[in-house]
Homo-oligomer: A and B are copies of this chain.
């Protein structure tokens, strides 16, 4: 059974990217693959791109789609083992996961980091309990730790726009007024590890991502130096990881500008705060790939669902 919980569930990134590009060229070519199959998309958090693109991808494959805002439409879930449930939670994840699996063949789950409890966030309790108890393929629609559908769309976008054997790709931190999760940055890093590139991460000192994810990636604290001769610049805010979930820096010197970008292509997962994360000039310019990235979310989801559906037939 094929899950898609993280980049580690991809056996060959280059092959998945090629297949996704083939799906993009003819999205309905496997319309009968999902016939009679249902996917439940469970949202514990807000969503625009993921909500629409995953529905679209499933419909392109002929699946039935059920969308549910689990937080507001369902019951408050309990995750603890052995809890005496006489407080605010009404249903245990054990039952919820098994029950959902009675009504669908595949389940997609969005459950953001709390950013208040690192240990709990990193345990990925929602996702991992669904994986443990549901008994059906689980797709990560952004979890505490990762956003692998976004990273796969980014890989497709890089592939479509890259002409070099070993492009220089920079992940550049940006300021933001609110505490944001590390999921997108984490998955982008993990994705970059699956391909040949000169990959650099730049951020203010003290804003290091989880070293178990970045591993031996080159970190350059001088943004200008990091951006030199870049081919692609992926800009993203994340809150502090060491002082978990805190906003310790809003330095506007890190905002991406046309001057800093140089000749590189600009990437961002969206939503993006204009003139805080990146200037209007960059977003409205020809080097911006953000809309293409959004478009490729459909084909990232579609190749994942195609692999998942194929695994159900084994």
Interface residues of A (CB under 8 A from B): 28, 36, 38, 40, 43, 46-49, 51-53, 55-56, 59, 64, 66, 68-69, 72-75, 78, 82-87, 89-92, 94-96, 98-100, 102-104, 177, 270-276, 280, 283-284, 290-291, 294-295, 297-298
Contacts and interface: CB of A to CB of B under 8 A. Distances in A.
Contact of A271 (B66, B69, B90, B274): B90
B85 A48 contact: no
A99 B297 CA distance: 10
A43 B273 contact: no
B43 A73 contact: yes
A96 B283 CA distance: 13
A151 to B, nearest CB: 18
A283 B51 CA distance: 34
A3 to B, nearest CB: 20
B82 A280 contact: yes
Given A46-B75, A86-B177, A298-B102, A272 B51 contact: no
Contacts of A95: 270-272, 283, 290-291, 294
Contact of A275 (B85, B90, B270, B295): B85
Contact of A99 (B28, B36, B270): B270
Given A90-B273, A271-B90, A102 B294 contact: yes
Nearest to A250: B86
Contacts of A94: 283-284
Contacts of A177: 86-87
A99 B59 contact: no
Nearest to A255: B84
B69 A294 contact: no
A56 B84 contact: no
Contacts of A100: 48, 52
B78 A274 contact: yes
A102 B291 contact: yes
A24 to B, nearest CB: 11
14 contacts: A28-B36, A48-B99, A49-B99, A52-B68, A52-B100, A53-B103, A56-B64, A56-B103, A56-B104, A82-B275, A85-B275, A90-B273, A91-B272, A102-B295
A59 B104 CA distance: 11
Contact of A74 (B46, B75, B275): B46
A67 B283 CA distance: 28
A73 B272 CA distance: 17
A109 to B, nearest CB: 14
A217 B78 CA distance: 36
Nearest to A295: B102
Contacts of A283: 94-95
Q: Which 7 A-B pairs have the closest CB atoms?
A: A91-B271, A85-B273, A52-B103, A102-B295, A84-B275, A99-B294, A48-B74
Nearest to A59: B64
A66 B72 CA distance: 18
A283 B290 CA distance: 48
